[in-house]
Structure formats: structure tokens, C-alpha cells
Structure 1
């Protein structure tokens, strides 16, 4: 009679199935950042929420997600990534049920905060588990390719599914759709993923956790308020100043902490520094792009929610197609060249899209750019993720994974705030010169599309440039001092 296999043996045998489970959870996290966008008008009408409150339905998710990612990554390193992954998925599913049942704005916003905090636990844990399950370079490249492609597809699918679900089943369905996937992941994870060994139970860097979380939350809140209340409003200035003070304090604390939340020696690796800079710019470009594209289709072209969602299918298809060939491209061209090329392809698609008129035909003006954007976006997410975790020790896998997600989320918040301000300014200028509203809106969105392309081009230049000055020297870090306190790096 055959002996039952241990969890570790199953993990080796079923690791590709485990990857599907991890990718599904990662998909939910990225999806939820965008799926609500198209449902907002319907949601606001039923819950009697004004425009400013509606914007906080998005912000209430992004703030805890971006602010707690580094802490979530470090908790995974300390207590075990599988444990944190399952806890995060469980919290995410429960909060999704609560959001779908929301009968008031306060109820909904509280649920969104819990969703964001849960996502901050599961996202870095999922990426860290992938790096532990796949140790052979070629297999790891394929696995990270899948995870990177899922991140890109999730951004697109949010617009697609948001339109389909809202039209067919109402706004609560954009939250309830998370529940069956979450239950499936929670059920399968203990069987497919072996319990990993937690790191040493050293003291947790709570001063670092408080300052970085407070700093990131203050920064994202300041950027969100800047668009609504103006860059010189007292709240915007106060939150911006608090962000600078708290993030500066965080860097100082991390230089001398015995068990730092984010070992600054991580940034002495050019791959970590370059990969996170790229993910920061990718996040800004894609978030601004999809915000403008969704509003352009509904306000200018007068697409309903379903049609606006279905128009994203070609872009999603291009993403899936490029994900299948990315391992071969990474092997042939190298990570940096593939990432730079992908960013330039993405930029060419957004610039092409900027020529779309106020009476655009999808087949003539939008289909081609969508496919090009999908190819560039898919390649950039896969290569950026691969580069940012290259050479990171297992003991720092969680915090490195949290850093990638943090870079993408904060980049998205900053990119959206900047590009939305540029769009509004351009639209007002065109209106003041007598341009009709559809043309003025189209002109404003065109600048967003061009701006997204500019961010991608900057990313490509940074990737190709030889980083001669390490971040450690810019921050005044003594490599000998930090090297004694951080093991497994360099």
C-alpha cells in the first residue's frame, strides 16, 4: 500500500497547480483595484453618494493596500508566507461579501478598507511563494511570467468584468464575484502549497512599520485630495508635509534597525532598484490610461457599461498571447532589453490612441492601439516582475515582493493624480477657447494617453541606462554597517 505523500512532496509534484491558485489570488487583488470603476455611477445612485464620496470607494482600497504592503511582506517572512497568504485571501473574501451587502456609504468604505488591508497580506505572500516553489531559473521565469501577465490582465479584466457584471446583475456583483474564487483558493492552498519555514522570530520593526505606512497613506491621500481640493489647500499641504517627514524618518529608522522592515541593502542590487523603478512607472502609466479610456468611452463615445467592458477583449487577448512567449524572449534578449522594448511598444500604442477623435470608430481608431498596448503592457509586467526579484535571498522574498506591489500601487496613485490634473487643465483650456464639450474632453484624454506614453519612455530609458550610483550612496547608507545586520544579500 502506497504511503500518503507529505505536503512538501505534493508541493513539488503539484507546483504548477499551486501556481494557478496563487495567480488566481493575485488576479483578485489587481482586479479589485479597477473593476469598481464602471460600477461607480450605478453604485452612487443607489447608495446616494456624491462624486467626492464615490472617489473614496477607490481610495479606501488603495490606501491600506499601498500603505501596508511592506508590513505584509515582512510578516510573511517572519510568520510564514502560506499562513499569511491564506489569512489574506480569507479576509479579502469576507470583506467582499460585506461590500456587496453594503446598505450605506460608511458600510461600503469600511469593507473596502478591509479588502485593501487583506490584499496587502496576500499579494507579497503569493509572489514570495512563487519564488520558493520554482528554484530552477527557467521554471521561475515561466512562473513569474504567468504572475506578471495575470497582473496585467487583471487591470484590463476589471474594466471588462465591471461592465458585464454591472449591466447583468447590478453593482453588488462586482464584489460577490470575488467570493467563489476566494473559497476555491482557501480550499486548495493547504493541499498544494507546503507550509514554509518562518524566519527567525526577531523583534518586529514597529517604528518602521508605523512610519512607512503613515507616510505612504499620507502621500496617497495628499495626491487624491490635490485633484479634488487643489494642490494648495490646507489638507493637501498638511498631508504632503506629513508624508515627507514620515518617509524621511522611515529611511533613518531602517538604517539603524537591528531587524529592519525593509533592509536598505536590497537597493544595492541594481535589479531590485531598476525593477521597482520600472514597476512604479508602469503603474502610473496603466492606471492613468485605463481611467481615461473608461471615461472617454462612456462620456464621449456614449458606450454603455457592457460595451465599454467588451471593447477591452482585444487588449486582454494580446496580453495573454504575449505572456506565452515571454520566457523565450527573456532568455534570448535578457530581462532589461525585453522590459525596455515592451515599454516602448506600450508607449507607441498610447500615442497612437491619442489621435482618436470624439466620434471614433472602435474598429478604425481603437482596435489597433488596444492590441499594441496589450502587447507592451503584458511584456512590461512580466519582465518588470522578473527583474525586481532577481537575486533576492529567500529570507527577504516577502519584503521584496511587497516592495514590487508597493511601487506599482504608489506609482498608480501618483500617475493618476498627475495625468488627471493634466487632462482637466487641457479640457478647461479648450472649453475656454470655444471648443465643444466632446472635443474638449477628447483633447484632455489625448494628453493623458500621451502622458502615459511619456512615463513608459522614461521607464525604458532608466532600464537601459547603467545605474552607476546606487541608492545606498544617495541615502548615505554605510554598506559595511548595514551588511553586518542583513544576511543573505550581496
Structure 2
């Protein structure tokens, strides 16, 4: 079924026309998935949600097997090992904006299928790197990230164009709920395949992702692209905002690279801080292009209201905390507590229940409860989890610190993500759903990678070389204390957001009361 842009206006569907989000074309989209039968709708939603499922699987299938993979390549440096995770998230967070824009211009379905195919290819290469060296493996992990950079924003754009607002919110909720399923699958099968031979972690992923790419061709309807696409090549390139995109990518890559590479070689190497300085210069150039030069900016700076900025700041703080928490809790359990990868996979299984419940509750209540309150819930959950885990003794029972910390962390993850997605995609015109979704996912994935870089710098500077378990634990806890501070900042910002929202409501009520006598006199 194809989305049509002809002869379908909001008025014909009984909906008021929103002049603020109207595009130069007076035509509008329809919502094909609203009319799907229940089995067809389930297949459609499940296929699109596989983008989030596979993204989390790709992140977590190396989480507990880093040491096994590192030993096969003869590397044990914590900084080098962290790149096996950070490189994957770095690429996703850096290129996801371009992925969303490419979907808006050339078709969300095409980019979704292309992203799955690309991820399948580089998963195959990651496994084959066992016959080469760790450099190829790191490159394969980095290039793997380009797959989710295409699939994640376009998956959300597909939902935005296929469902009306009510079903759309639930589709976004299921999208967020797919994350814990992917994480647990990655933890379980990563550990199981590592017990045999670790390359099968990636070869099995390559086969599964290839199947999803083929299945998506059938289950996802063809997405209409912008009518302005029938234009000369020069105008189409102008709409892609290539100068802005290039400057933004360079800024993000250099900034993240400098912090994560400093964990490996320290800040004494000149090229590390040169990269940091260059990142600021490219960042300034990016904002100059977006604000003053780009006719179709890849980042809609004008759409960033103070409310959205608060939401994004809280999302960044929360997800950076989550990445740090996940990485270092696992490191403490494996390196000091003596747990095995398969045991840790079992320890994380409660997130299946709490994650799904949290995401679906947000999907049902997002139109009834202010988003600011949902953000507070997410930030407090992250803060409580970080505090629990920073005080957790490595030899403590699972049913004390770890069990409760895991449950609460999932509540934070699966309340903040769907809330941020729903808020931003609801204010972005349907033609640009890919752009709106890509901004949210950029913040999520880039924050994970950058947070690990910051935490790794702290760890390596306080662990005295990590020669003993006591030194290792001191470094790991230093990183976890940083996550406490980070999510503490996020909690304060979310509370300010609530107060700001409350004052705005009070102001609107007072104006309404003041206007009432004037209406009576007239």
C-alpha cells in the first residue's frame, strides 16, 4: 500500500489544518497503517521495531564478551576495549542526522532496507576479522554503526507517516519496548556463542539482519517522499545540506574521538587535544551554516524551543548515565565479582518485564500527563540506580543491589526515550519525521559513546594503572560516581522544567480569568 499525497487534505479527514506546520505543498499524507488488520499491523510494527531491537543487540552482544574478544587479539587495555563499544555508538550518533535527512529526501523504506543490508555486511566482516587483527574488528564495529544510523530515524519516520497520533504513540512505545528485548538477546547469545567461538556472535547477527531486510521489503508500505524531490540535481543536493552535514559530522567525530582516544594514549599526545580544538571549530562552522546559510538546514535550530532543549538535555544526561552504568557494572561483575557472561545475561532478564511495562505505560499516558513529569520520573530512576550501583559491594548477593538497580534503570530508559520521541515528532511536520526522529536518536547514541569517553578518562587517571583488583575497583567506582553527578544534573534540569511548565500553566489560567470580565462587558 502506497502513501498518497494527492487529494487528501486535513479538512477532508475531519482534522483542522495546522497552518504552522503546513508545507509549501498544500497536499498532505494519509495514514495507511490505521486501516491494517490486526495481524498485518503486528507484522508491520514488529518489523519496524527490529531496528531498535537489533541496535541494542549489537551494543550488548559485545558487552560481556569484550575480554574474550580482546584476548583473541592480544589486547587488554581498558581504553582499547572500550572502543569496541564506543565506536559502534559513535558512528550511530554521528551519522543518524544524515540518515534521517536521506530518508526524508529519498524514501524512508529504502533507507531502512539499505541500513539493514549494510549492517548485515559489516557484521559478517566483524566475524571474519578473527583471521586478521583488532584494527579490522574496530573498523567493522564502526561501520556496523552506519546501519542503525539509517534504520533508527527512518523506522520512527515510518511510524510517523503510517499512523495517526493515538496509534502512533503506541507504536513509539513498542519501539522503546524493543530495546530491553534486544539487550537481553545480545547478552544471552553473545555469551553462548562466545563459549563456542566468538565470531559466531557476528555471523549469526549477519544472517538474522539479512532476513529482516528481505522481510521489510514486504511488510513496510512504500513511503512517499517530498514532492519537491522532482527537481534538478543541484536543488536536491542543496536540500541535503551537504556542507552543514559535513561540518556537523566532523565536529561530532573529532570531539568524541578525542575523549575516547585519550583513554588509550592520555592527553599527553598532542593530536588528541588538537582534535578537540578542531571539533569546536567545526562545531562553530556547523551552527553558522545551519543558522545563516543553509536553505534546508539539517538541524532545525529555529524549532528548538526552551521546552525541547530541556527535554534533550535530560535525555542526554540520562542516556550517558545509562551507558556508563551498563559498561562499568558489567566490568565490576566480570573482573572483580567473578561472574560469568552467561550468569550476567540471566541477571539482566528482569528488564524484559519492567522495560516493556514502562514503555507501554508512557504510550498510554503521554497525552494525559505532562511530559515534564515523565522526564522527572526517568531522571530520578537513573539517579537512584547510579547511587545503588556505586555503593554495591562486588561480592554482594544478586537480590540486593543488582536486582533493584537493574529494574530501576530500565524504568529510566523506557520512560525518557518514548517521551522525547513523542514530544519532538509531534511538533515536526510529517514530511520531516525522519529529521525529527534522527535528532532524538542522535542525542541518545552520541551521549552513550561520549559518556563512556568521559568516564574512561576518569577511570584511567585514578586507578593507578589498574594492577590490582582494589585499583580496578577504585577506577570503576570513580566512573560510576561521575554518572551519579551527571544524572544529578539531569534531575535538577528536569525539576526546573516542571517548575517552568507549572508557571506557564498558571500564567495561562490567570490570563483566562482576566479576560472573562472583558468578555462579559462586551
Asked if TM exceeds 0.5, the reply is: yes
- Match for 1:104 among 132, 138, 141? 132
CA gap of 1:63–1:453, structure 2 versus 1, over 3 A, is closer
Which sits farther off after the overlay, 187-196 or 78-87?
187-196
Do the aligned partners of 2:70 and 2:81 also contact (CA within 8 Å) in 1? yes
Give the match's secondary structure for 1:420.
helix
The equivalent of 2:63 in structure 1 is 37
Name the counterpart of 1:174.
Answer: 201
Contact 2:123 2:205 in 1 (8 A): yes
For 1:148, the equivalent position in structure 2 comes to 176
Given that 1:10 and 1:192 are in contact with CA atoms closer than 8 Å, whether structure 2 keeps it comes out as no
Residue by residue over 1:413-452, the C-alpha shift from the partner in whole angstroms, topping out at 9 and shown as x without a partner, is 22222233334455449x99x9944763564365255345
Match of 1:219 among 235, 245, 255: 255
Equivalent in the alignment of 1:47: 73
Counterpart residue number, 1:457: 491
Report what 1:120 is aligned to. Answer: 149
Say if 1:385 and 1:404, in contact at 8 Å, map to a contact too: yes
- The runs of 5 or more residues in structure 2 that have no matched partner are 5-30, 230-235, 503-522
1:411 pairs with one of 447, 455, 458? 447
Q: C-alpha distance in 1, partners of 2:343/2:128?
A: 26
Check conservation: 2:464, 2:471, Cα contact below 8 A.
no
Kept in 1: contact 2:96–2:441 (CA 8 A):
yes
Question: Which of 317, 326, 330 does residue 366 from structure 2 map onto?
Answer: 330
- 3-state secondary structure, aligned to 2:386: helix
- Quote the offset at 1:121 in angstroms: 1.4
Any idea what the Cα deviations from partners look like across 1:169-215, whole Å, max 9, x if unmatched? Answer: 33113212323432332222222222112222332321112111111
**Paired residues of 1:31 and 1:154 also in contact (CA < 8 A):** yes
Measured in 2, the distance between the counterparts of 1:467 and 1:230 equals 43
Alignment of 1:193-232 (within 5 A): 193-199=220-226, 200-201=228-229, 202=236, 203=238, 204-232=240-268
Which deviations, in whole Å up to 9, do the C-alpha atoms of 1:471-490 show, x marking residues without a partner? Answer: xxxxxxxxxxxxxxxxxxxx
Structure 1 window deviating more from structure 2 (453-462 vs 11-20): it is 453-462
Match of 1:246 in 2: 282
Q: Per the alignment, in what secondary structure is the counterpart of residue 195 of structure 1?
A: coil
Q: Does 1:399 align with 2:435?
A: yes
Residues 449, 117 of structure 1: alpha-carbon distance in 2 compared, 3 angstrom cutoff? closer
Provide TM-score, normalisation by structure 1.
0.85
Partner of 2:84: 57
How big is the shift at 1:155? 4.6
Contact 1:33 1:58 in 2 (8 A): yes
Q: Note the aligned Cα RMSD (angstroms).
A: 2.9
How many Å separate the matches in 2 of 1:301 and 1:160? 19
Q: Which residue of 1 aligns with 2:509?
A: none
Pick one of 264, 270, 273 that aligns with 1:237. 273
Structure 2 residue aligned with 1:95: 122
Which of 377, 380, 387 aligns to 1:344? It is: 380
Structure 1 distance, partners of 2:389, 2:343, is 18
User: 2:451, 2:139 → 1: CA distance?
Assistant: 25
Q: Which runs of 5+ in 1 are unaligned?
A: 469-490
Residues 366-386 of structure 1, C-alpha deviations (whole Å, 9 max, x = no match): 212222222232222222222
Distance change >3 Å, CA 7–CA 180, structure 1 → 2: farther
Question: What aligned pairs does 1:320-399 form with structure 2 within 5 A after superposition?
Answer: 320-399=356-435
Q: Any conservation in 2 of the 1:160–1:313 contact (CA below 8 Å)? A: no
Deviation per residue, 1:373-423 (Å, 9 max, x gap): 222322222222222322111122111111111111221122222233334
Q: 1:446 to 1:240 in 2, by over 3 A?
A: closer
> C-alpha displacement at 1:467, in angstroms?
8.2
Check 1:35–1:20 CA distance in 2 against 1; reply closer, same or farther (3 A cut): same
Sort the Cα spacing of 1:300 and 1:449 in 2 relative to 1 into closer, same or farther, 3 A: farther
Q: Distance in 2 between matches of 1:360 and 1:188?
A: 45
Identify the residue that residue 259 of structure 1 maps to in structure 2.
296
Structure 2 equivalent of residue 471 of structure 1: none
The 8 Å contact of residues 99 and 175 in structure 1, kept in 2 or not, is answered as yes
Counterpart of 1:134?
163
- Structure 2 CA distance for partners of 1:224 and 1:446, relative to 1, 3 Å: closer
User: Based on CA coordinates, which of the two structures has the bigger radius of gyration?
Assistant: 2
Whether 2:279 is the aligned partner of 1:279: answer no
* Equivalent position of 2:481 in the other structure: 447
Question: Aligned with 1:70: secondary structure?
Answer: helix
Q: 2:311–2:375: 8 Å Cα contact kept in structure 1?
A: no
What's the offset of the Cα at 1:289?
Answer: 0.4
